[in-house]
Structure 1
C-alpha cells in the first residue's frame, strides 16, 4: 500500500513538473541577450504592438550591488488581440499584456521565453475561442523566431 502511494506521489510530482515546463515556450537565440531584446522590441513595434515596459533586471540588480546574468523582460501588447482574449474570459487580463523574457544562462546561451497560449487557455478555462488562441500562438511564434534566428 505504501509502495503504491509512493509511486503515485512520484508520478504526480513528475506530471506537475512537466506541466510547469510546458507553461513557457523557450527559443534559443543566435544573438546576445541585449541584441535579442533590441531585435524583439524593434520587430514588435514594426508589427504595430505597443511596448509598455522594458525591464532590465541585471541593471536593477547592479543598482543594489548584486550580480545577475543578462535578464530582461519586455511587456508588450496589441489591444485588438488582447481584447479578444479578454472577451473570451476576462480573467485572462491578469496575464496581459504579454511578456517576453530574454535571459542568458550559466552556459552563456541566450533564450527568449513567453507564456504558452495553450497554458493560458487551460489556466483560464477558455473555451470556444480557438481562433483567437491560434492567432496569438502564431504571432508569438513568428515574433520570437524572427528575433532569435539568423537570416538564411
Structure 2
C-alpha cells in the first residue's frame, strides 16, 4: 500500500512540475463547461468596481462546428483590468502578447471540466519583469480565487 501511495505522490508531483513548466495553472470544476464559464463571468463581474472587465467569451466548440469539425466543449473567457495590464506592460512591454488575461474552460478526455490559466509568476519570468512583484502577487491571488469560486459553486 505504501508503494502505491508513493507512486501516486510521485505522479502528482511530476504532473504539477509539468504544469508549472508550461506556465499553466489548472483546477477541476464540479460543473459543466457552460456552467463553469457562467460562474467565471459572474465572479469576474463582481470585480467591476476594481476595474476588471470581461471583454468576450469565445466558444471554440461552436466555431469548430461551424466549419464541420468536432471539438469537446471548450470556451475562452477573455478579461482584464487596463490599469493593471498597463503596469505590467510598463515593467516589460512584451507582456502585451499575453494580455488580456484568459481562462480556458474545457472538457478533458475523461469528461472532467477543467479551468486553465497562465501563472502570473511564470509570465513575469518569461518576460523578465522587474519591479512588478507586488502586482504579480495580487494577480495570482485574484486568478486563483476566481477560478476556485467558479469551480466550487
TM-score band w.r.t. shorter chain: 0.7 to 0.9
Cα distance in 2, alignment partners of residues 107 and 23 from structure 1? 23
Instruction: Indicate the residue corresponding to 2:110 in structure 1.
Output: 107
Larger Cα-atom Rg: 1
Cα distance in 2, alignment partners of residues 79 and 64 from structure 1? 34
CA contact 2:25–2:116 (8 Å) conserved in 1: yes
Q: 1:45 Cα deviation (Å)?
A: 1.3
Q: 1:128 Cα deviation (Å)?
A: 2.1
* Equivalent pairs, count: 135
Instruction: Indicate the residue corresponding to 1:124 in structure 2.
Output: 127
Cα distance in 2, alignment partners of residues 141 and 20 from structure 1? 14
Cα distance in 2, alignment partners of residues 19 and 143 from structure 1? 19
Long gaps (5+) in structure 2: 1-13
Aligned runs of 1:34-113 on 2, under 5 Å? 34-48=34-48, 49-113=52-116
Q: 1:63 Cα deviation (Å)?
A: 0.7
CA contact 1:71–1:101 (8 Å) conserved in 2: yes
Tell whether 2:25 aligns with 1:25: yes
Structure 1 ranges of 4+ moved more than 6 A: none
CA contact 1:22–1:116 (8 Å) conserved in 2: no
Q: 1:85 Cα deviation (Å)?
A: 1.1
Long gaps (5+) in structure 1: 1-13
